[in-house]
Amino acid sequence: MFFCCNIFLGLWFMQKWKKSGSLLQLTCRDHSDPRQTFLYKLSKKSGLQYFRNVVLVGSLQDRYVPYHSARIEMCKTALKDKQTGPVYAEMIENLLLPVLQNKDCNLVRYDVIHALPNTANSLIGRAAHIAVLDSEIFLEKFFLVAGLKYFQ
């Protein structure tokens, strides 16, 4: 909970300091009606079903992108929230239903656990967020063990 609050506090501070519309969009606060937010509207656009393979990678160590969000899954908090929970469920359905209905599209989810050093970046979750792209060894192992079949 501590890290979650820090992220929201950081987003709030950045929004006030930079006056960034994209931060409002990322937190679905760009419209009072959640079904009018940029991310909700984006979820209704077609796209993922046109790929042959949709590979979703999530890490519980990543505190920048929530695990359930990276995997496009429902979270426990949204299940309990009677106001925004149904909207979140609609967004997931908007994104995944076309993928699941396309027999030529393969959806797969991977969980990643990184061996990270004890640094400030690890503590705040940044290290896990960028580890996939920052580590050539990880990418090489991922493709050799699991990912290569999706790119043939």
Greater pLDDT, 4 or 64: 64
Domain that holds residue 23: 1-31
Residue 136 resides in a domain:
no
Burial class (CB in 10 A: 0-12, 13-18, 19+), 88: buried
How many domains does the chain fold into? 1
Residue 2 resides in a domain:
yes
The tens digit of pLDDT for each residue in 33-81 reads: 999 999 999 999 999 999 999 989 898 888 888 899 999 999 999 999 9
Measured CA to CA, the distance from residue 134 to residue 152 in angstroms comes to 23
Residue 51 resides in a domain:
no
pTM: 0.76
Residue 148 resides in a domain:
no
For 24-40, what is the mean pLDDT?
90
8-state DSSP, 104: T
Predicted pLDDT at 1 = 35
Residue 18 resides in a domain:
yes
141 membership: H or E segment, kind and range: helix 136-142
Predicted pLDDT at 20 = 61
Residue 24 resides in a domain:
yes
Measured CA to CA, the distance from residue 151 to residue 149 in angstroms comes to 6
Residue 22 resides in a domain:
yes
Residue 122 resides in a domain:
no
